[in-house]
Amino acid sequence: MGDGRGDEEECRVALLNGGGAAKEGWQVVSGGDGKLRRRVWEESRKLWVIVAPAIFSRVVTYSMNVITQAFAGHLGDLELAAISIANTVVVGFNFGLMLGMASALETLCGQAFGAKKYHMMGVYMQRSWIVLLSCALLLLPMYIYAEDVLLLTGQPPELSAMAGRVSVWFIPLHLSFAFLFPLQRFLQCQMKNFASAAASGVALCVHVAISWLLVSRFRFGLVGIALTLNFSWWATAAMLFAYVACGGCPETWNGLSLEAFAGLWEFVKLSAASGVMLCLENWYYRILILLTGNLKNAAIAVDALSICMTINAWELMIPLAFFAGTGVRVANELGAGNGKGARFATIVSSVTSLVIGLFFWVLIVGLHDKFALIFTSSDVVLDAVDNLSVLLAFTILLNSIQPVLSGVAVGSGWQSMVAYVNIGTYYLIGIPMGILLGWLFKLGVLGIWAGMIGGTAVQTLILAIITIRCDWDKEAMIASTRMDKWSQVR
């Protein structure tokens, strides 16, 4: 990423280095160093090539779920509840696990692209297909016996029965995860996110049309809704595969290969670590809603919290896109043997995401008593949301940094270590603290959420310390060794 003088200048401005280097860096910045500005601009350009399409794709995917719930809501309250619970408990659990497992490709494909071992990227994707499809088949009983699972969680019998029936129809959707997620990460790691964005846009249009046709016109009910989601997700996967197989990735896709069946155990271990790491994050705030539902007179609290979580989920699409972008940029630079470049990518991504987070923090604080009007006109709920707005603002601010640091971990291959960090901070600190504040100190949902934010803050602090103390040159050597090892597996 530059000549020796460029690396020397980077050493001087690296904010992740301590002491005099950081001080010298600020002097260079204040002096208006043109080379630094060019490097920041170039790194930002590479980052946004990944982030911008990723934001669009994630918002579109989230919108498809919103549209699905809207059509279900017109069928009836029970149907809406059944779709919501099936999506949250059954599909949501498996979605998080499969998405996490596919993130192993961000490490391997990202570093392979940086190391210019392009042919291996297609092999890695095929290994991911094999591993994820095997996992998907093992998880099928959760769909088949969804009614029993939901009854065990305390859901009403009628709701469990309906959600159980529709869950069986979601099996094709579940299987699509095994093919679509690796395709998306394969393209993402070579900065071809535009293909995913285009496919998502087409799928959204198709989703709206098919939803109207099957639900409103032919009145297939919940089955029609499930069929629509199945079709939309498989259509996206088919479009991306057609793009890859028909010449979109000539250097990285050489067709199906028997090499994909070699080295599967190592791939399983990395995929499992990625899955656990991201699942622990994905489930954390779902537990917040479950805990709130057990409070006395919880209806208003749950309504207010649901509004806050919806706002948080929409805004979270931006940090999650930075998670993807950071992981790819760090992996690319480490794969190329450029530890200083990986460090610089981390700095630029962190600062950019933090600035965006601060903007939304100010927006939520400034509109603390007004933003809930989008969802409700109830004075009681509006007051409850107002009381939670400060926590929402700080959650958004933390979420502007935490996913970036997780992206660094994925790009560097630290998934196993971060999984242990997540267990400790989320489930041994955050949730117990939330229960303590919510029930013992009688702070209700305010206490539960505040405690869980504490867990996120501790996790973010630990990841920040790990990142600051990282020996990037050593990480580049580890990445090089990993690429040599995995490339020799036959």
Give tens-digit pLDDT for 125-135: 999 999 999 99
Give residue 466's domain range. 275-490
Spatial distance between the Cα atoms of 111 and 109, rounded to a whole number of angstroms: 6
Q: Work out the pLDDT band at 91, boundaries 50, 70, 90.
A: confident
Residues 6+ apart with CB under 8 A from 479: 111, 114, 115, 331, 334, 335, 337, 412, 413
Question: H helices of 145-263, where?
Answer: 146-152, 157-169, 171-188, 193-211, 221-243
Whether the pTM exceeds 0.85: the reply is no
Task: Give the pLDDT of residue 311.
Answer: 85
Contact 335, 112 (CB under 8 A): yes
Measured between alpha carbons, how far apart are the two ends of the chain, in Å? 32
Judged against a pLDDT cut of 60, whether residue 227 lies above it is answered with yes
- Residue 26 pLDDT: 37
What is d(CA 348, CA 15) in angstroms, rounded to the nearest whole number? 10
What's the mean pLDDT in 258-283? 85
**Structural domain ending residue among the three candidates 227, 261, 295:** 261
Query: What is the DSSP-derived secondary structure letter of residue 74?
Result: T
Number of H helices and number of E strands within the chain?
A: 22, 0
Is residue 477 over pLDDT 90? yes
288 contacts 452 by C-beta, under 8 angstroms: yes
151-189 in b/e form (b: 16+ CB < 10 A) is beeebeeebbebbbbbbbbbbebbbbbbbbbbbbbbbbb
Q: What is the pLDDT of residues 137-158, one digit of tens each?
A: 999 999 999 999 888 877 788 8
Residues 288 and 246 in one domain: no
Residue 79 has pLDDT above 70, yes or no: yes
Clarify whether residues 244 and 182 are in a common domain.
yes
Q: Quick check: is 267 in a domain?
A: no
In a domain, 24, yes or no: no
Give yes or no for residue 6 having a pLDDT over 70.
Answer: no
Q: How far apart are CA 164 and CA 147, in angstroms?
A: 4
> Alpha-carbon distance 85 to 88, whole Å?
5
Question: Do 265 and 83 contact (CB within 8 A), yes or no?
Answer: no
Radius of gyration of the chain (CA): 23
The encoded tokens of residue 35 equal 């080379």
| pLDDT value at residue 475 | 93
Is 36:351 a contact under the CB 8 Å cutoff?
no
Structure tokens at 48: 């946004």
Residues 255 and 340 in one domain: no
In a domain, 417, yes or no: yes
Residue 201 confidence (pLDDT): 94
> What is the model's pLDDT at position 377?
78
Write the DSSP symbol of residue 470. -
Are 357 and 399 in contact, with CB atoms under 8 Å apart? yes
Residue 41, pLDDT score: 93
Distance CA 274, CA 281 (A): 11
- CA–CA dist 78, 1 (Å, integer): 57
Identity at 256, one-letter amino acid code? L
- Please state at what angle helix 34-73 crosses helix 77-85, rounded to 10 degrees: 140
- pLDDT digits over 291-350, tens only? 766 666 556 676 777 788 878 888 888 998 999 999 999 999 999 999 999 999 999 999
Judgement on whether residues 404 and 489 belong to the same structural domain of the protein: yes
Least confident of 91-95, 101-105, 283-287: 283-287
How many domains does the chain divide into? Answer: 2
121, 112 contact by CB (below 8 A): yes
Residues 6+ apart with CB under 8 A from 41: none
Question: Residue 23's pLDDT is what?
Answer: 40
pLDDT above 70 (res 82): yes
In the structure, what pLDDT confidence band is assigned to residue 250 with cuts at 50, 70 and 90? Answer: very high
In a domain, 336, yes or no: yes
In a domain, 18, yes or no: no
Element (H, E) at 5: helix 4-13
At 299 the pLDDT is 60
* 289 domain-assigned: yes
Q: Are residues 232 and 322 in the same domain?
A: no
Better-predicted residue by pLDDT, 30 or 204: 204
Final residue in a domain of this structure, among 261, 294, 317 = 261
In the predicted model, is pLDDT for residue 408 greater than 60?
yes
**Cα separation, 460 vs 278, whole angstroms:** 14
| Secondary structure class of 369 (helix, strand, coil) | coil
pLDDT at 282: 75
pLDDT at 289 over 70: no
Q: 304 and 211: one domain?
A: no
- Model confidence at 66, pLDDT cuts 50, 70, 90, reads confident
- Decide if pLDDT at 19 tops 70: no
Are both 240 and 325 inside the same structural domain? no
Give per-residue pLDDT as tens, 252-269: 999 998 888 988 888 898
Phi, psi values for residue 360, rounded to 5°: -70, -30
Which pLDDT score, from 0 to 100, does residue 404 have? 94
Angle at 435 between CA 434 and CA 436, to 5 degrees: 90
Q: Given this model, what pLDDT does residue 32 score? A: 52
In the predicted model, is pLDDT for residue 372 greater than 70? yes
Statement to judge: residues 302 and 225 lie in one domain: no
Which of left, alpha, beta for 126 (phi over 0: left; psi -120 to 50: alpha)? alpha
Return the structure tokens found at 393: 């603002």
Measured in residues, the chain has a length of: 490
Domain-ending residue, one of 261, 294, 316: 261
Nearest to 470 by CA among 326, 324, 343: 343
> What does the pLDDT read at residue 11?
42
**What's the rounded mean pLDDT across residues 206-234?**
91
Q: Which of 82-91, 288-297, 371-380, 446-455 has the lowest mean pLDDT?
A: 288-297
Residues 187 and 309 in one domain: no
Checking if the pLDDT of 395 tops 50, the result is yes
Residue 190 in domain? yes
Confidence of residue 472 (pLDDT cuts 50, 70, 90): very high
Average pLDDT in the chain: 85
- State the DSSP string of 314-327: HHHHHHHHHHHHHH
Residues 105, 161 share a domain: yes
Residues 354 and 298 in one domain: yes
| pLDDT for the residue numbered 9 | 44
Give the CA distances from residue 111 to residues 11, 50, 337, 468, 479, in Å, rounded to whole numbers and listed in that order: 22, 16, 9, 21, 7
| 136 and 49 within one domain | yes
Element (H, E) at 405: helix 402-412
Residue 28 predicted with pLDDT over 60: no
Residue 2: pLDDT band (50, 70, 90) is very low
The answer as to whether 418 is a domain residue is yes
Distance, in Å, from the CA atom of 371 to the CA atom of 349, rounded to the nearest integer, reads 28
